[in-house]
Amino acid sequence: MHYEGNIIRPPSEANSILLQVTVGCSRNKCTFCGSYQGERFKIKPDDIIMQDIAFAAKHCKRQRRVFLCDGDALIIPQKRLKNILTAIETQLPWVTRVGVYANAKSIEMKSADELKELSEHKLKIAYMGLETGDDITLKAINKGVDSSKMIRMGKKIRRAGIKLSITVILGIAGRERSGIHAGETGRVLSAIDPEYVGALSLMLIPGTPLYKDYKNGTFPLLTPEEMLTELRTIIAETDMSLGLFHANHASNYLPIKARMPKDKEKTLALIDQALKGQIRLKPEWLRGL
């Protein structure tokens, strides 16, 4: 396999074939993210991608899923992306699902019919970073999109038959807007109604603008209890018709895996126990990105 730079994938894609089709992130401006610092976004040459698919055909016959790295592979022009998916179908016929990172811009650039066409070629799940439903915080972290567009694009890709996994970040709004961030995030998640939600707890990365704000005292890092309070509000305000709400990322203080809506009240009660000190939280030294 030909890999360049940092290879980032969702935790749920740990056992997937990691096929790098782009390098970096098409936006790479979010204030909290250090994943692709110093990397210029590019789409890899088709011949390199096809070589890697041929390699996977010989050496990855036990893996049933493919994840297209890196930060926003959905932005690849339709014809090229369809050709990649067709090559996967042809050379890796045992693969049942292809996953990809997506953002509001790349979803908007694809028509409804184009997204449906990709779904028909086994693109079955997209991972989108919402981070927050609070428009003021979205602007502060330089996401380049507001909550209404997030809702529209989230619904659009789901209508195409592509499952959606949304990431939100506890603590991303700081202390002053903590409650607003949590409530608005629940509102947006309810409007999109994704199949999966993953909550991460903010970990500041040296070199990022948000880390610099923290060091100069203009951005406060929330306590574990404050982050748990945010998580409780997000879950309380989120109505999912049928989906999984995860907060079991390595960054989180209290691992949670809830099937919504049936586990909602049980999960809220678990968080309440933790806030009362009846459940031990993960120590800082065990947390990770």
> Mean pLDDT, the chain, as a whole number?
95
Written out in words, the top-level CATH class of the domain with range 11-274 is: alpha beta
Share of the chain above pLDDT 90, in %: 87
- Given a cut of 70, whether residue 81 has pLDDT beyond it is yes
Q: What's the pLDDT score for residue 26?
A: 87
- Given a cut of 90, whether residue 68 has pLDDT beyond it is yes
Residue type, 193: D
Residue predicted with more confidence, 43 or 252: 43
- Given a cut of 80, whether residue 285 has pLDDT beyond it is no
Give the SS3 label for residue 228: helix
Q: What's the pLDDT score for residue 39?
A: 84
CA distance 173 to 176: 8
Q: What's the pLDDT score for residue 73?
A: 93
Q: What's the pLDDT score for residue 281?
A: 87
CA distance 264 to 260: 6
- Given a cut of 90, whether residue 108 has pLDDT beyond it is yes
- The predicted model gives 83-94 an average pLDDT of 98
Report pLDDT digits (tens) over 112-136. 999 999 999 999 999 999 999 999 9
Give the SS3 label for residue 180: helix
Report pLDDT digits (tens) over 140-189. 999 999 999 999 999 999 999 999 999 999 999 999 999 999 999 999 99
- Given a cut of 80, whether residue 288 has pLDDT beyond it is no
pTM of the model as a whole: 0.95
What confidence category does residue 286 fall into, taking pLDDT thresholds of 50, 70 and 90? confident
Domain-wise residue ranges, the chain: 11-274
Report pLDDT digits (tens) over 262-279. 999 999 999 999 999 999
Q: What's the pLDDT score for residue 225?
A: 95
- Given a cut of 70, whether residue 289 has pLDDT beyond it is no
Asked if 26 and 105 count as a contact pair (C-beta separation under 8 A), the reply is: yes
- The predicted model gives 82-88 an average pLDDT of 98
Q: What's the pLDDT score for residue 71?
A: 82
The strand ranges marked E within 134-188 are: 163-170
- The predicted model gives 234-249 an average pLDDT of 94
Share of the chain above pLDDT 70, in %: 100
Q: What's the pLDDT score for residue 72?
A: 87
Helices (H) and strands (E) in the chain, counts: 10, 10
Phi then psi for 42, rounded to 5 degrees?
-155, 155
- The predicted model gives 58-76 an average pLDDT of 94
CA dihedral sign, ordered 135, 136, 138, 139: positive
- Given a cut of 90, whether residue 287 has pLDDT beyond it is no
